[in-house]
A and B are shown apart, each in its own frame.
Chain A
Amino acid sequence: DAGVIQSPRHEVTEMGQEVTLRCKPISGHDYLFWYRQTMMRGLELLIYFNNNVPIDDSGMPEDRFSAKMPNASFSTLKIQPSEPRDSAVYFCASSSGTRSHNEQFFGPGTRLTVL
């Protein structure tokens, strides 16, 4: 298995631009998570899906952030418009609900820089 795949690995954009981060979870996993990591705030859960349905989006910072999961093999996290304070590493993770302890498998992350 290729593991969780994220793209792009690095993104540099200017303030005000739209940014779209992509994630392909591990095949067969029914949970998908989006995290953000910064030096100041550490690793934070933004939102997670179960069977393509958003379950908990309480960590989404504000309306500029949106996440979708149109099918079991693809999810996007969009920031519109982007701001410098959105600069961070964004991780996607997936897990299987059939495993009682829902071990989460993380992707390599997307490093976002907003100038």
Chain B
Amino acid sequence: DAKTTQPPSMDCAEGRAANLPCNHSTISGNEYVYWYRQIHSQGPQYIIHGLKNNETNEMASLIITEDRKSSTLILPHATLRDTAVYYCIVRVQGNNRLAFGKGNQVVVIP
């Protein structure tokens, strides 16, 4: 699976949109981008995934660049409960191995 690069940490203002970047320049054509998050003292939680089109669900939006070498997870209205480590993972559909990197520690500030 392709390697991903995320900033180690970032702060976001409560109520504002939070834009979390992820670089995956070596992504292959059959690899999907997945996002999970881990709130302190809890297990990771699935957020969203996509291949090449932008995706949206009740939690977030995922924007993937046309060349698929990077993506952005958007939390539309960040709340204090969104403070967590966010993991960007690239993997082939059907591959059951999730390779969690160091993630991005996101802190939502009041």
Contact = CB atoms under 8 A, between A and B. Distances in A.
Interface of A: 4, 31, 33, 42-45, 48, 50, 55-56, 91, 93, 95, 100-109
Given A42-B101, A42-B102, A101-B49, A109 B43 contact: yes
Nearest to B44: A106
Interface residues of B, number: 20
Contacts, number: 48
A91 B49 CA distance: 22
A100 B93 contact: yes
B56 to A, nearest CB: 16
Contacts of A103: 46
Contact of A48 (B32, B93, B96, B103): B96
B43 A55 contact: no
A31 B99 CA distance: 17
A31 B98 CA distance: 13
Interface string B10-52: 0000000000000000000000101000100111111001000
A101 B93 contact: yes
B93 A106 contact: no
22 contacts: A4-B43, A31-B96, A33-B96, A42-B101, A42-B102, A43-B38, A43-B100, A48-B96, A50-B96, A56-B96, A93-B43, A93-B44, A95-B96, A101-B32, A101-B34, A101-B49, A101-B93, A102-B96, A103-B46, A104-B46, A104-B98, A106-B43
